[in-house]
Structure 1
Amino acid sequence: MVTPPGARRALVWSFANTAFGKFGTLLISILIARVLGPEEFGTYAVALVALMAVLSVNELGVSLAIVRWEEDPRTIAPTVTTISVAASLIFFGVAYAATPAFTAAMGDPQATDVVRLMLVCVPLNGLVATAAALLQREYQQGRRTAADQVNIWLGAGISVALALTGFGAMSLAIGRVVATVVFSIMLLVFSPLPLRFGWDRTYAGALLRFGLPLAGASIVVFAVGYSDQLVVGAVLGAQALGFYLLAFNLASWPVSMLSQPVRAVAPAAFARIQNDPERMDAGFRAAFRLLLVVALPVCAFVAGAALPIVTFVYGEVWAPAALALQWLALHAVLRIAFELAYDFLAVRRRSSTLMVIQIIWVLALIPALLVGANLGGMQGVAIAQLAVAAVVLVGCYAWALSRAGVHVGALVRTSIVPVLGGVVAGVGALLAAHLIELDLLAALAAGTFALAVIAGTLALSRESMRVLRPDVVAAEEAS
């Protein structure tokens, strides 16, 4: 896979951005969870689900066209902005009106005001969609990092201060909105192009044809990503949702740390070599292996040491969250793999295939979640997530990748070492959790062992690293 200097710098900035951001978010979430407790945390979860639902389709998928546009993006930027803002205003109005019905269905009518305040982020997101896409296209992750860090720390500071003064779940909503306003201003200032509205019929139709299938897929992606929280809230109540949200956030930490930085630059990098199938195949397999080399031991560590991690970091009152965390952490490995595959298939213009895969996922997942919630509570929901992903999605993505030019057999073979590393790390974490009584020592021992496993498997993955090295890529291009 081509990794030009701009992409390499962007990847470094993106990883640093995610690392600092997740570290800050983790610290703040600890404070918030200890101050609010599971029930108030559940109210915030209801608002967050509503916001994510709208944001999943907010700009109709058209901003991604800027990243992949082969010509000068200035030709389509005004039209993209017009579509994004108009769509976001419409979605905001519909969601605002539907909020009371939504919160009642979630079993928490008192969350209505929190949800409505959070929805203010929707039109702001539409306003800066073009700017965000332009920064990604130009590998300006340094500027994006500055905006993201201000967003995280400003929002966190406001939320913690208000939570300590008794604002409850509303403190998180206020912090989120204020920070989003500042974040939006920064993106507009940093954007390579000024904010402009316009309408070009020549491009509008093409943009909508490109974006709508992706937006449709994003709706289903939202259903996949948040139907578990919807089921937990509706079936088990707000307090259970608070426990589950904490477990989900902890399980998502490896996904954010490992997958999001790669996804920030992977679409543009894949797009540069989309006309060279062999290099696309080799690049995908190399990136896939290196992601798994790190992701599997990390996720296995979180799964095996779930109870000591939760009780040490958040306190004994949050111990029930470990029941879901141990399964959600294993599911996180598959999420990381699926997201890389999703980006690859999107660049290969397999939008319809992605839509079919997501629909199959939802159709299989929702019944499984309902059964899991009624039979096993939070733990049953988490097990259902993992089972459907492993049984249904692995096969679907393998089929799609094969049709897109990836040698699936070779992909499986290159995954053997990472899988073995994950098993070893998981067994070590389980032993540490059961044999060491002090939570801190158990978590530290399991984490240290996982790092050692990662170091060993990386040493066995030099060929994959060689494929992605810039000098090797340059030599191949010269030949």
Structure 2
Amino acid sequence: MNKEPEKKLWYGVFWSFLDKIINQLGTVFITVYIARLIGPESFGMIGMLTVFILLSECVLGGFSQALIQRSHDLTEEDSSTVFYINLAWAFLIYIILYILAPYIAQFYKLPELTSIARILFLVIFINSLMVVFRAQLTINLDFRSQTVAATYGSVLSGILAVYCAHQGYDYWSIVIMLLSKSIIVLLGLFYYSHWIPKLCFSKNSFLSLFKFGSYLMLASMLATVVNNLSTVLVGRFFNATNVGFFTQATNISNYASQVITSTLQSVTYPVMASIKDERERLLLVYQHLVAITMCISLPLLVGLAAVSKEVVILFLGNEWSAVITVLIALCFARAITPISAINMNILNVIGRSDLFFKVDLCKIPISLLAIFIAIPFGISALAWSSIVTSLLAFFINAYYPGKLFGFGVMQQLKVAKNYILSSGIMYAILFAISIENIFISLCIKIVVGIIVYSSFLLIMKDAVFIDYVSKISTFMRGIKHKNEL
């Protein structure tokens, strides 16, 4: 890989990863703390509405990807057109959801959801305003500014939400956190992007960007519906407490998965888009990305499955113990997700959002069948069924990369064999460790897990792992040398 793109890539990875650690991890801890205060039932009521916010973001996010994909030829008309289109979309979506709020509450048999929904859905309108600002910064690989803006949002909204929870605002504390965070982040992105929408609208820009973005929008909407259908059905056929359990397990496992996926994907997408016409370089970056993602994602998610009991009891309390089995299953399922995301991402890079849509369309019947088979057996069965659908999704997602780049299922599994074996051995050893003190058990398992995984990769002389250990060692020696001077 050329040194300049590689330098930009890893600089972006650093800031994007820092963003996830500071902000997403911070948000998870704050949410977990508030959930412990308000209980599973109140927490579950917010979880019931999450799918509607995610669906709206799918509508808005397609144009963002289209702007980044066109980074080389992007015009001021393109950016301004997307800004106004997103604004119009968000206004329309909010009005529709405002009208539907009583029916959503009736579906879940919880009348209080009407007022919660109408306030919470304002997040949709606020988030629509930041799409172009974020895209502008991403095109310039300016993840530092995005991290700073998100940090202000996370810290200030978190403090406000914790205060509200202690004052007895119950589920409203989470609503306040989500709204205030969106407003603060919006202001930060506006300040750092140095971009102001012009009073112009181009029909040609809209049509060309919509052609690419519409496939992503539809694919994302379908995937969001399928991925969150479990939560919707749990809320409909069980109760808010079960939704609270399922949502919390989903949030924790999703965070561990997304801290890898979104970090690498958000940074590598603009980098790969900039070299999409250089086939050999693009393939090298893609293969390297798959290898490093597997090296990190498998031990992280499998390790989280091994310490699920300790994490739930220590941070949420015994009241949330039903989350443990659900979290274990979802961790195994999410271990594969980052690889599937990369395989889908490469299709967008080369401008084949139509294939992206087709692949997502193929996975829907499988996911629906698994959900409807598992739902009568409870939330644990629903979580375990996601392992099967994740495995099948990996094979489906790897089809086009195999056809277009010669890097399909077998080639990717060959790359992953060391990480699969090392993660499996690590899990078996951690599973065998039994210590009564929860905190000591968690600490020991984390240390043992790191040692076991690293040792087996060193024994197998894994090239990717050794290369990055060497780079980290060199970096640390450089810092030590500067301090000595």
Same fold (TM over 0.5): yes
Q: Partner amino acid for 1:66?
A: L
Deviations 1:422-452 (A, max 9, x none): 10121122112xx222222222222212222
Query: How far did 1:204 drift?
Result: 1.7
Aligned CA distance change for structure 1 residues 458 and 140 (closer, same or farther; 3 Å)? farther
- Higher mean alpha-carbon deviation, 188-197 vs 38-47, is at 188-197
Residue 93 (1) aligns with residue 100 (2): no
Query: How far did 1:463 drift?
Result: 4.6
Aligned CA distance change for structure 1 residues 234 and 191 (closer, same or farther; 3 Å)? same
Paired residues for 1:13-52 under 5 Å: 13-52=15-54
Q: Partner amino acid for 1:279?
A: R
Distance (Å, rounded) in 1 between the aligned partners of 2:225 and 2:74: 35
Aligned CA distance change for structure 1 residues 260 and 34 (closer, same or farther; 3 Å)? same
8 A Cα contact 1:81 1:197, kept in partner: no
Query: How far did 1:454 drift?
Result: 4.2
Structure 2 counterpart of 1:315: 317
Distance (Å, rounded) in 1 between the aligned partners of 2:46 and 2:26: 19
Distance (Å, rounded) in 2 between the aligned partners of 1:300 and 1:5: 30
- Higher mean alpha-carbon deviation, 232-241 vs 19-28, is at 19-28
- Higher mean alpha-carbon deviation, 299-308 vs 189-198, is at 189-198
Paired residues for 1:206-217 under 5 Å: 206-217=208-219
How many pairs are equivalent?
464
Distance (Å, rounded) in 1 between the aligned partners of 2:226 and 2:422: 28
Secondary structure at 1:148 match in 2:
helix
Distance (Å, rounded) in 1 between the aligned partners of 2:467 and 2:316: 41
Distance (Å, rounded) in 1 between the aligned partners of 2:122 and 2:297: 35
Secondary structure at 1:194 match in 2:
coil
Structure 1 counterpart of 2:442: 443
Structure 1 counterpart of 2:294: 292
Q: Partner amino acid for 2:387?
A: L
8 A Cα contact 2:295 2:419, kept in partner: yes
Residue 56 (1) aligns with residue 58 (2): yes
User: Structure 2, unaligned stretches of length 5 or more?
Assistant: 472-485
Paired residues for 1:223-242 under 5 Å: 223-242=225-244
Distance (Å, rounded) in 2 between the aligned partners of 1:452 and 1:6: 31
Aligned CA distance change for structure 1 residues 139 and 284 (closer, same or farther; 3 Å)? same
Structure 2 counterpart of 1:176: 178
Distance (Å, rounded) in 1 between the aligned partners of 2:76 and 2:453: 44
Structure 2 counterpart of 1:402: 402
Q: Give me the CA root mean square deviation.
A: 2.1
Distance (Å, rounded) in 2 between the aligned partners of 1:112 and 1:195: 34
Structure 1 counterpart of 2:388: 387
- Higher mean alpha-carbon deviation, 126-135 vs 400-409, is at 400-409
Distance (Å, rounded) in 1 between the aligned partners of 2:464 and 2:29: 37
Distance (Å, rounded) in 2 between the aligned partners of 1:457 and 1:73: 50
Aligned CA distance change for structure 1 residues 366 and 81 (closer, same or farther; 3 Å)? same
Distance (Å, rounded) in 2 between the aligned partners of 1:311 and 1:118: 29
Paired residues for 1:175-214 under 5 Å: 175-214=177-216
Structure 2 counterpart of 1:117: 119
Q: Partner amino acid for 2:364?
A: V
- Higher mean alpha-carbon deviation, 33-42 vs 64-73, is at 64-73
Secondary structure at 1:58 match in 2:
helix
Residue 416 (1) aligns with residue 417 (2): yes
TM (normalized to structure 1)?
Answer: 0.92
Deviations 1:404-430 (A, max 9, x none): 214223322111001111101211221
Structure 1 counterpart of 2:222: 220
Paired residues for 1:101-112 under 5 Å: 101-112=103-114
Aligned CA distance change for structure 1 residues 10 and 197 (closer, same or farther; 3 Å)? farther
Q: Percent identity?
A: 18
Aligned CA distance change for structure 1 residues 224 and 104 (closer, same or farther; 3 Å)? same
Deviations 1:151-201 (A, max 9, x none): 212221111111111111111112211221121122112114223342112
Q: Partner amino acid for 1:21?
A: N
Secondary structure at 2:112 match in 1:
helix
